[in-house]
Amino acid sequence: MLAFSCFASCVWLMYDKCQNNCKLFAGFTIFLFFFSIIFMAYNQFRAMMAITRGSLRAILRSPSAIVFSFIFPFLFILVFGFIGNSSMQSYRIVLAPGSDTANALFSELKNSDAIKLVNYATERELNEAIIKGRIAGTISIKKSGNAMAPFSVTLNSSTSSNDKWPQLKNFIASSINHISNSMYQNRPAYATFDFDYKRDIKEIRQYKTIDFILPGQLGFSLLTAGVFGLAFVFFNLRNTLVLKRFFATPISRTYIVLGEALSRVVFQMATAVIIILAGYYLFGFTLVNGVQTFFEMLLLSFLGLLVFMGFGFIISGVAKSDSSIAPFANLITMPQFLLGGTFFSIDVFPKWLQPIAKIMPLTHLNTAMRSVAFEGQSLWGVRSEIGILLIWGLAVYFIAIKVFRWE
């Protein structure tokens, strides 16, 4: 276009011999010059936009870009947003025999989302629940005979519920203050809350943060190793034709798979041993029955790893390229990482989200390991969690057999 403007200027000079038209000629030349620049800039802009559209389409076609840039941040926001908006944890409590239930405090506790009243058939079952930290405590509400504070409230718990009873104590005191301020303004207090740590808290085994965190971290380690490890290993073996070369040897396909899987099992079980022993010796992780609990945790770890490896087989079969493995694997691992009770109890989730969390296999593995380690449950005592893991295993390997490819 710049050459065209110069050519047009020359033609105009030859055509117009009159010097009076020189000003008009100069103006026309300047117009063509700037028009050519604008037109060229417009072409550059269109080219830039074409490149932008092409790159954007490539990004939208990339599963990893969508997963890592949108889905995961969105899931984190949802989960931690719900936890942050959850005003309180849910506490399982037992109402002591002889308690008065015809009062405003009992009604407020009963109708609160933070309180779940439970009952036990025998005193032995109740004591077992207190010792194992299954409940936050027992609450007694009785008439005091004092007109100024007509009710007396006591809370009994144990050191096994150190993660629950302090918050429950504050919640009860807050409920009493709320009733006193809103309904009985002319009285000093609606009820007296009599609490003494040495008297009301049984010194049993102390529940520590590591007792919750270690099983969750171990479970997540097994999950990531089973899913990512198997998916990448078998995809690369197939992609590099190693699996195909095995066909020239006498070994059967079954033993090829078992050999690769066994190496992963041996390595990850060794990792589980190190994690449990490090938690026990360095941070005081609770193994109630000692060596028996240690081996029970290893058996649960082995079962969980087998289930998670099935997911890895599925991904290695459906993945079309090396770059698509990570998005598929993260779609399986991250929801369980966030909702499986790894860092916090699923009780802090909204009620509609808790059933979703309870479907996931990592949730049941974490629950089983915590019950075995701290509560002293046997494997038979966590048979429901083991049963759900076995169902997951059957379903996952059924799909894996269908989608797994050798070539």
Q: State which of 50-54, 194-198, 292-296 shows the largest mean pLDDT.
A: 292-296
User: What does the pLDDT read at residue 71?
Assistant: 60
Q: What is the pLDDT of residue 13?
A: 47
Instruction: Please determine, for residue 364, whether its predicted confidence score (pLDDT) is greater than 90.
Output: yes
- One domain for residues 106 and 183: yes
Same domain, 353 and 288: yes
Asked whether residue 357 is domain-assigned, the answer is yes
State whether 198 and 295 are in the same domain: no
CB 137 within 8 A of CB 155: yes
Q: Identify the domain boundary among 177, 202, 227.
A: 202
Residues 250, 188 within the same domain: no
Mean local confidence (pLDDT), 336-358: 83
Give percent of the chain with pLDDT exceeding 70: 71
Whether 81 is in a domain gets the answer no
Between 218 and 26, the more confident residue is 218
Same domain, 298 and 162: no
pLDDT above 50 for 15: no
Mean pLDDT of 96-122: 80
Q: Which domain holds residue 109?
A: 91-202
Do 255 and 398 have their domain in common? yes
Backbone angles phi, psi at 404, to 5 degrees: -65, 135
pLDDT of residue 60: 64
Report whether pLDDT(29) > 70: no
Nearest one of 262, 242, 260, 249 to 406, comparing CA atoms: 242
pLDDT score for 393:
92
Contacts of 47 (CB under 8 A, 6+ apart): none
Mind listing the pLDDT tens digit for each residue in 314-340? 988 888 877 778 888 888 888 888 888
For residues 247 and 167, state if they share a domain: no
Judge whether residue 395 has pLDDT over 90. yes
Tell me which residue of 175, 181, 219, 208 sits closest to 193, measured CA to CA.
Answer: 175
More reliable by pLDDT, 325 or 362? 362
CA 216 to CA 278: how far, in whole Å? 15
d(CA 65, CA 6): 49
Structure tokens given for 332? 């399986």
Q: Is the residue at 132 inside a domain?
A: yes
pLDDT band at 296 (very low <50, low <70, confident <90, very high): very high
Between 42 and 187, where is the model more confident? 187
- Indicate the residue among 202, 223, 246 that finishes a domain: 202
248 or 313, which is more confident: 313
Integer Cα distance of 222 and 361 in angstroms: 12
Lowest mean pLDDT among 92-101, 195-204, 231-240: 195-204
Percentage of residues in the chain with pLDDT exceeding 90? 12
pLDDT at 193 over 80: no
Residue 77 lies in a domain: no
Q: How far apart are CA 231 and CA 246, in angstroms?
A: 19
Closest CA to 171 of 85, 79, 83, 93: 93
Output the average pLDDT for the chain: 76
Helix (H) or strand (E) holding 370: helix 361-370
Interacting residues of 71 by C-beta distance below 8 A, sequence separation 6+: 331
2 pLDDT band, cuts 50/70/90, is very low
Phi, psi torsion values for 345, nearest 5 degrees: -65, 145
State whether 264 and 171 are in the same domain.
no
Half-sphere exposure at residue 118, Cβ-oriented, CA atoms within 13 angstroms: 17
Instruction: With a cut of 80, say whether residue 249 has pLDDT above it.
Output: no
Is the same domain home to 250 and 352?
yes
- Tell me the sheet residues that pair with 201: 157
Q: What is the spatial distance between Cα 214 and Cα 204, in angstroms, rounded to a whole number? A: 21
Count of domains for the chain = 3
- Model confidence band, residue 385 (pLDDT cutoffs 50, 70, 90): very high
* Positive or negative: CA dihedral 233, 235, 239, 242: positive
Q: Residue 77: its pLDDT value, please? A: 52
Say yes or no to pLDDT of 172 above 90.
no
Shared domain check, 307 and 182: no
Phi-psi region of 204 (alpha: psi -120 to 50; beta: other; left: phi over 0): beta
Task: Give CA–CA dist 20/7, Å, rounded.
Answer: 21
187 & 334 share domain = no
**Do 242 and 354 have their domain in common?**
yes
* Domain-terminating residue out of 202, 227, 253: 202
C-beta separation of 155 from 200 below 8 A: yes
Helix ranges (H only) for 62-102 are 63-66, 72-85
Least confident of 38-52, 227-241, 259-273, 275-289: 38-52
- HSE-CB of 252 using CA atoms within 13 angstroms: 3
Please tell me which residue, 366 or 181, carries the higher pLDDT value.
366
Distances from the Cα of 8 to the Cα of 2, 19, 42, 138, 355, angstroms: 10, 17, 21, 98, 78
Q: Lowest-confidence range among 10-14, 53-57, 188-192?
A: 10-14
- If DSSP codes are grouped into helix, strand and coil, which group holds residue 225? helix
Q: Is the pLDDT of residue 108 over 70?
A: yes
